[in-house]
């Protein structure tokens, strides 16, 4: 059984060999942004459940100090703590206008034709509403939102699970911006899953190096063997188009 997630499929789009290393669980140091994002998500859950969350901020300082987390240029522990405070303050303002909570950090899986698609909804709210919380520094562009792979996969997964198209909110916490997203077809997503399965089954992932930002890739030391990476860097990663004519495909690989 092949297991795939939105991040795995995103790696596959970026570089097939990158997906190969993810599948084989090659460990890489966490980034400071990843740690901060996880803590913010945990603090939002604490907030919604009425639990004390003050200790998480202190624990974050310890974790950033004691682990080998990779800091981006300009990142410091004080400004990351400020980011945590900003994200939580913005969330408190935005949640007032959202439907009531149904489930928090709810995992899902869908199995079909030799593949299991897995993921986790940040929030499921009443009225068939998905809320995904993002903590990145840069506010997303319209083009990015319309082509975001995770949005596409999560809306498709919800439709498969509950037989209804959800309302989807993408919340960029650091800027306090809320975007409602729409999808009307998932053909390209299913084709992507098919291609991913085909390459996995014929052991093609480790043989193909796409060259997506190799200089910044966590796995470049495993596959480039010290080679000059300047010619391998591309400018952007392809995404899944959001709007297509109505699909003729029904349930997952039926």
Report the range of poorest mean pLDDT among 161-165, 177-181, 183-187, 229-233.
229-233
Q: Please, which pLDDT band fits residue 32 given cuts at 50, 70 and 90?
A: very high
DSSP annotation string for 156-190 = HHHHHHHSSPPEEEEEETTTTEEEEE-----HHHH
DSSP designation for 40: H
The string of pLDDT tens digits covering residues 8-30 is 999 888 888 888 888 887 887 78
pLDDT of res. 226 = 52
pTM comes to 0.86
Query: Average pLDDT, whole number, for the chain?
Result: 85
87 within domain boundaries: no
Q: Tell me the CA distances in angstroms from 14 to 147, 190, 210, one per residue in order.
A: 14, 17, 7
Q: Please, which pLDDT band fits residue 241 given cuts at 50, 70 and 90?
A: very low
Q: Please, which pLDDT band fits residue 234 given cuts at 50, 70 and 90?
A: very low
237 neighbors 148 (Cβ within 8 angstroms): no
247 within domain boundaries: no
182 within domain boundaries: yes
110 within domain boundaries: yes
65 within domain boundaries: no
Phi/psi at 31 (nearest 5 deg)? -90, 155
Residue closest to 131 by CA, chosen among 159, 160, 104: 104
Domain count of the fold of the chain: 1
Q: Is the pLDDT of residue 209 over 80?
A: no
Residue 239 or 188, more confident: 188
Average pLDDT of span 56-65: 92
The string of pLDDT tens digits covering residues 90-142 is 999 999 999 999 999 999 999 988 889 999 999 999 999 999 999 988 899 99
d(CA 134, CA 132): 7
User: Could you tell me the residue range of the domain that residue 128 belongs to?
Assistant: 2-24+100-190
Residue 159 or 227, more confident: 159
pLDDT of res. 190 = 92
Average pLDDT of span 195-218: 75
203 within domain boundaries: no
Q: Tell me the CA distances in angstroms from 191 to 137, 144, 187, 247, 253, one per residue in order.
A: 31, 20, 6, 12, 10
171 within domain boundaries: yes
Q: Is the pLDDT of residue 159 over 50?
A: yes
17 within domain boundaries: yes
């Amino acid at each position: 059984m092949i297991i795939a997630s939105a991040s795995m499929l995103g790696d596959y789009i970026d570089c097939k060999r990158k997906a190969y290393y993810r599948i084989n669980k090659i460990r890489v140091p966490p980034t400071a942004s990843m740690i901060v994002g996880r803590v913010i998500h945990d603090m939002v859950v604490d907030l919604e459940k009425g639990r004390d969350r003050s200790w998480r901020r202190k624990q974050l300082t310890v974790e950033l100090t004691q682990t080998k987390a990779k800091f981006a240029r300009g990142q410091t522990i004080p400004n990351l703590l400020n980011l945590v405070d900003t994200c939580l303050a913005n969330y408190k303002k935005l949640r007032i206008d959202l439907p009531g909570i149904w489930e928090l950090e709810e995992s899902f899986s869908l199995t079909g034709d030799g593949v299991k698609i897995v993921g986790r909804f940040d929030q499921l709210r009443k009225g068939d509403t998905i809320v995904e919380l993002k903590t990145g520094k840069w506010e997303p562009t319209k083009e990015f939102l319309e082509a975001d792979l995770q949005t596409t996969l999560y809306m498709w997964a919800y439709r498969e699970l509950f037989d209804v198209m959800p309302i989807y909110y993408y919340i960029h916490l650091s800027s306090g911006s809320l975007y409602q997203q729409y999808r009307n077809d998932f053909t390209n997503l299913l084709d992507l899953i098919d291609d991913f399965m085909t390459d996995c089954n014929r052991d093609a992932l480790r043989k193909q190096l796409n060259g997506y930002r190799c200089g910044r890739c966590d796995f470049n030391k495993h596959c480039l063997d010290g080679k000059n990476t300047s010619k391998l860097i591309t400018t952007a990663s392809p995404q899944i188009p959001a709007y297509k004519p109505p699909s003729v495909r029904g349930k997952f690989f039926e």
